[in-house]
Structure 1
Amino acid sequence: MTDLPKSADTDALLARAHIEGVDEATWLDVIQRMDEVYSQLVSDEIALEQKNVELEQSQQFIFSVMSAMSDVLLVCNERGEIEETNAALCELVGRSDDELRGTPVFALLADDASRARMRGVLDDANPSRRGQAVELNLRDAEGRPVPVDTNLTPRFARNGKRAGTVFVGRPTAELKRAYHELREAHEALKLAQQQLLHSEKMASLGRLVAGVAHELNNPISFVLGNVHALKKYSERMGRYIDAVRAGASDEELGELRTRLRIEHLLKDLPSLIEGTMEGAQRTADIVNGLKRFSAVDPEGRTAVDLNTVIERAIHWIRKGTTAAVDMHWEAGAPCVVMGSAGQLQQVVMNLLQNACDAAGADGRTAELTIACTATGERVRMTLRDNGPGIPDEYLSRIFEPFFTTKPVGKGTGLGLSISYGIVEQHGGTLVARNHPDGGAEFVLELPAAASLT
């Protein structure tokens, strides 16, 4: 820009103005106006430079964002010619931005079906401003087709006419691989959960071994005693039958019958057989109960009376503990739910065992009060103990996996957590709280079987 006249130049202009018949005031006004124009030009130039800096920063920001995108991005005009790309697309197709600029977008597609879908989007006269999801096959740097899940969004000019299309997509091979890895992790987690569930069940079963051995000893001993008696009776009967076959006289047979007590034997046989069958049945019931508890339950659910589950759990807890326990329980009306009898028995046994351990920790007699009622569409079981209750800081963590207040070696911290998960799978709730009159209380609620039909 040319410098404006100053000092001596101004005097020269004034002198010339005087000579040419123009007064001095007029020339001063002209000079003042020139100074104002110059100042405005300088201000405009500074503002323009600032705008250029801001524009460059905006362009750099947009370029950095596009370069950082892991999704492929492409912008084409209304004729389908590429105007802009990002680094992810260039890397995928193995061509630079300069090479792609001006190229028809159809040249990047790997098959006719993809080109037809792209053509249908570009030729749409009334496209949705939200775009359209289309699956296309791009050709990668080695010429192989790569499936890409894309969103094609129209781009409009200021006059409202369509100016082109923005293409944003992600190769679905990556998504499928991630989904496959997620599914494998989920299956591994399910397997680990099943193993934990079964391990905790077997740990509970181990606590019952002593009681079960005693429980089995009674009917088995009874059966063995009866079998020994039956063996003796069979020997006597054999001797008597041999005498009959040998043609002994009536006198001899009568004497033999008296000596072998055949009449007494015949009267005693029905009771011996009946007792043996009863003992065998009791043994079978015990074994079936253990099998039902320890086996991995099938997915199918059946109608289960929670009263029966509670009675069976109380029976096993009494047999498996050496501590003094006083159970307050009386079965009421049927409380039928749909579920797995073995899993529900595991839940109730865990609750009873924990209550026994907590209430009898200081050597006193544990008193447990159990109630089960059906109200409308819900079945509720409550279990209250006479222990010290649950500290407030533990109430929010009591169902966390591996959380336990028992000494090392006395508990795994999985029983309540697994029980909570089983109840959730059955569509129910399990809540722990402190009873207003003292002790801890657990409330188990499950949907009634009638409400599920």
Structure 2
Amino acid sequence: MNALSDKASDDVSEQGLSARLAAAEQELAATRDQLQHCAAVMAANDDAIITLSPDGRITHWNAAAEQLFGRGGDEALGQTLGTLLPGGAAALAGAWSSVVAGGRGAFDAAHVRNDGSAAHAAVTLSAVLDDGGQVRAVVGVVRDISDYKIREAEFHQESKLESLGRLSAGLAHEINTPIQYVGDNARFLEEAYQELIRVVEVYRSLLDTSNPIGWAERQEQVRIAEAGIDFDYLQKEIPSAVEQTLEGIERVSRIVRAMKTFSHPGHQEQVPADLNEALEATVTVTRHQVSDVAELTMDLADLPPVMCNIADLNQVFLNLIVNAADAIEETGSRGAIDVSTAVDGDDVVVRISDTGGGIPEDMRAKIFDPFFTTKDVGRGSGQGLPLARGVVQEGHGGSLTLDTVVGQGTTFTVRLPIDGRPAPGPVETRT
């Protein structure tokens, strides 16, 4: 009886073991299918997909990554992402801090291809957590955005050309007005000079002692000469004409200086610049556009030099002031634009406010989207504000925000760090 019981028990054990083995094989097959599917997805993806260990070492990457970085898998394994993207060192460090905490991180960075050409990449890092919530691995998706950056630069240039085109007529008017009255005054002074010279010639002839005429006759000739030129009128108008001419010359000089400041080619690197001077120059070159629709006031605080690319910021200020004038013009009533600066801790703040119609709530989330515009067809390309935000945020480490009330107006606030965008720092070996 015991032998039969033992045999039955053995049969049950073998059946249980077989069932467990079959289940394990099924699970293994399912896992193998999942891995093959994942591998196929990674291989077929146009984006570079990279897996990294918790200490930041590359453990796997797909064919797109090999093509993007020009390195084979064996060459990349064990390397850090920082060695592939040295231009994004500071951004990578910040993104990695978010990832190791179990979150996500994203940044853009430049890198150099095998042929020596520059490329740009958008990187997204995501943490893979185990059951205990610990980071088991990190997945990075890297997309080549070089073409997008090229188009962005082209759009930036087109936006500049569009703005300059809109300014040209106004600048011609601004310069033509003082030049016209400088010319009128110059012609008046030329005529007055000829008349005064004729009187001087009479005086000189009367001083000739060889001319035997009496004192009374000399006086009469002087009176006639002076009466012929309206001496009192010239005495009053000549100083006024000279003063107006000098004012006109100074006005033209200011416009030329403003254009020189506004069109400054800038530098690749950040250099100290006077933001108040830049704003004054921008106001000068936009005066004709603004003066037709609004009164513009400036309240400029004492600012320290700000590390920046002033040429790009000039374009930002131009877009914001022109947009303010357009917003007021659309209301059909004359309004006001206020430009102010202030120091706030380690930042400089520039505010440009208008009394336009404000921005409806359903449009506020789109206002910085490329090609989105609230203006009529032909008046706006939708490039100005997105490029302005890119210059301020990506180019200078600052922020561009808006505060708007429908029916009352809008205020755009540019916040810039006085010391400029932080320079890339060294990347830790684990990232």
TM-score band, normalised by the shorter chain?
0.5 to 0.7
- Cα–Cα, structure 1 residues 295 and 187, in superposed 2: closer, same or farther, change >3 Å? farther
CA distance in 1, matches of 2:210, 2:269: 68
Which amino acid counterpart does residue 150 of structure 2 have in structure 1?
L
Aligned residue in 2 for 1:194 = 153
Q: 1:299 to 1:391 in 2, by over 3 A?
A: same
1:443 corresponds to which residue? Answer: 413
Contact 1:210 / 1:320 at 8 angstroms: preserved in 2? no
Cα distance in 2, alignment partners of residues 200 and 366 from structure 1: 26
Q: Is the 8 A contact 2:301 2:343 kept in 1?
A: no
Q: Aligned match of 1:216 in 175, 189, 211?
A: 175
* Candidates 369, 384, 388, aligned match of 1:400: 369
Q: Distance in 2 between matches of 1:43 and 1:358?
A: 85
Following superposition, the deviation at residue 325 of structure 1 comes to: 0.6
When the two structures are aligned, how many residues end up with a matched partner?
325
Three-state SS of the structure 2 residue aligned to 1:373 is strand
Matched, 1:431 2:431: no
Where relative contact order (Cα < 8 A, 6+ residues apart) is larger, the structure is 2
Change (3 A) 1:297 1:51: same
After TM superposition, list the pairs within 5 Å mapping 1:58-207 onto structure 2: 60-61=29-30, 148-149=74-75, 183=120, 185-207=144-166
1:322 deviates by 6.5
Letter aligned with residue 410 of structure 2: A
Q: CA RMSD in A?
A: 5.3
Cα–Cα, structure 1 residues 148 and 330, in superposed 2: closer, same or farther, change >3 Å? closer
CA shift for structure 1 position 251: 8.0
Q: Which runs of 5+ in 2 are unaligned?
A: 41-54, 60-71, 79-111, 122-143, 196-207, 212-220, 423-431
Q: Structure 1, residues 177-209: CA drift from partner, whole Å, max 9, x if none?
A: 799795495554433322222221222222222
Partner in structure 1 of residue 285 of structure 2: 316
**Which residue of the other structure, out of 307, 319, 326, is the alignment partner of 1:338?**
307
Q: Which residue of 1 aligns with 2:298?
A: 329
| AA partner of residue 25 (structure 2) | E
**Aligned-partner Cα distance in 1 for 2:321–2:300:** 16
Q: Which secondary structure state, in structure 1, belongs to the residue aligned with residue 374 of structure 2?
A: coil
Deviation at 1:282, TM superposition (A): 4.6
Match for residue 353 of structure 2 among 353, 364, 384: 384
Which string of whole-angstrom CA distances, capped at 9 and with x for unpartnered residues, describes residues 72-105 of structure 1? Answer: xxxxxxxxxxxxxxxxxxxxxxxxxxxxxxxxxx
Q: Give CA-to-partner distance per residue, 1:386-438, whole Å, 9 cap, x none.
A: 23332223333222222222222221112111111222222322210136994
Give how far 1:39 is off: 3.2
Task: Please give the residue correspondences for 1:6-21 in structure 2 after superposition, counting only pairs within 5 Å.
Answer: none
Contact 1:201 1:294 in 2 (8 A): no
Letter in 2 for 1:429: S
CA distance in 1, matches of 2:272, 2:354: 29
In 1, Cα distance between equivalents of 2:35 and 2:350:
60
What is the match of residue 353 of structure 1?
A: 322
Q: TM-score, normalized by length of structure 2?
A: 0.57
Unaligned stretches of 5+ residues in structure 1? 1-31, 72-129, 135-145, 153-174, 237-248
Alignment CA distance shift 1:290-1:250 (3 Å): farther
Compute the TM-score of the two structures, normalised by the length of structure 1.
Answer: 0.54
What is the CA–CA distance in structure 1 between the aligned matches of 2:249 and 2:146, rounded to whole Å?
A: 42
Q: In 1, Cα distance between the equivalents of 2:290 and 2:281?
A: 15
Q: Find the counterpart in structure 2 of residue 123 from structure 1.
A: none
